[in-house]
Amino acid sequence: MAVGLTVGAFAQDFQKIRFGVNVKPNVSWFVPKDSNAQSDGIRVNWGAGVVGDFHFAELYSFSTGISIDNQSGRMTHTEKVFNDVDQEWSIVEYKRRYSIRYIEIPLLLKLQTKEIGYMTYFLNVGMGLGANWAVVANGDQYTKNIFGKDDDGNNCWCIANEDKEDIKVDVRDDFTLFRSSIIVGGGVEYNISGGTSLVVGLQYNGGFSNIMSKSVNAVKLDTDNNNEPIIQGTSVDAPQVTNLKVTNNSIALTVGVMF
């Protein structure tokens, strides 16, 4: 990039700045990094933003901007939870649909062809830096075990079998503030008039940083026993817990106008 900017400084004929707006409907999904959570499919979302292309050569530019992206997905995982009201520990399985709203700044290198007819083809590659400002979960929760006393008065993780359906909660604290990702995309610009073009493209946005907060006290699951929580002993510390490691990906259709 430094070499390209130096070349651009001596090639004033290639200097060009363009701005645009776009909308980005997308499909997104979660990618758990271990067996303690399961992804339950994709969801359809939307996004929109403004973009700027800063050319340092005729066919090369640095592309950036700011966008608001909704990314979501379905995920099942199990947590060890303390109930402040009842003053008791429980193991709860969540089957939720998560909706995360990000403000993202892309940092991309844009490569493009010369105009062929009215068409110009391009490729974007780089990374995205995002911060979430809202996370909402909607779905079912199933209390599998509660730490208490058995019929003989001994401590145990007793089977609970309590089900609550379609609960909507704010889970902002369960997710990290920042997200980083790899972005690869491409598409075509159709010249409408002068410097105005219609832009259509596809963009893959693959997260590589863990989006789950360390406050999520996930219980390890026994994959050989129908993903039941692993409990060894009769103390409150008996369930084996871990920090969830999850990333999220999306594929977006980008439609916009460059000026």
Q: Is 152 within a domain?
A: yes
Q: Is residue 10 part of a domain?
A: no
What pLDDT is recorded for position 3?
A: 42
Neighbouring C-beta atoms of residue 81, cutoff 10 Å: 15
pLDDT at 84: 87
Would residue 7 count as lying in a domain?
no
The reply to whether 183 falls in a domain is yes
Interatomic CA distance for residues 207 and 83, integer angstroms: 33
Whether residue 109 is contained in a domain is answered as yes
* pLDDT value, residue 75: 96
pLDDT of residue 60: 95
Q: For residue 233, what are the contacts with CB-CB under 8 A and spacing of at least 6?
A: none
- The CATH number given to whatever domain includes residue 94 is 2.40.160.20
Q: What is the pLDDT of residue 215?
A: 87
Q: Is residue 42 part of a domain?
A: yes
pLDDT tens digit sequence for 87-140: 899 999 999 999 999 999 999 999 999 999 999 999 999 999 999 999 999 999
The partner residues of 242 in beta bridges, in order of sequence, read 218
Looking at residue 28, its pLDDT comes to 97
Residue 11 has a pLDDT of 45
Q: What is the pLDDT of residue 14?
A: 55
Structural domain tally of the chain?
1
Tell whether 9 is covered by a domain: no
Inter-CA distances, 254 with 24, 67, 88, 185, 187, Å: 5, 12, 49, 9, 9
3-class secondary structure, 4: helix
Token pair for 174: 């369960």
Q: Is residue 4 part of a domain?
A: no
Domain housing 72: 15-258
User: Is residue 185 a contact partner of residue 124, using CB atoms and an 8 Å limit?
Assistant: yes
Low pLDDT (below 50) residues in the chain: 1-11
Residue 98 backbone zone (phi > 0: left; psi -120 to 50: alpha; other: beta)? beta
* Mean pLDDT taken over the chain: 92
Q: Determine the length of the chain.
A: 259
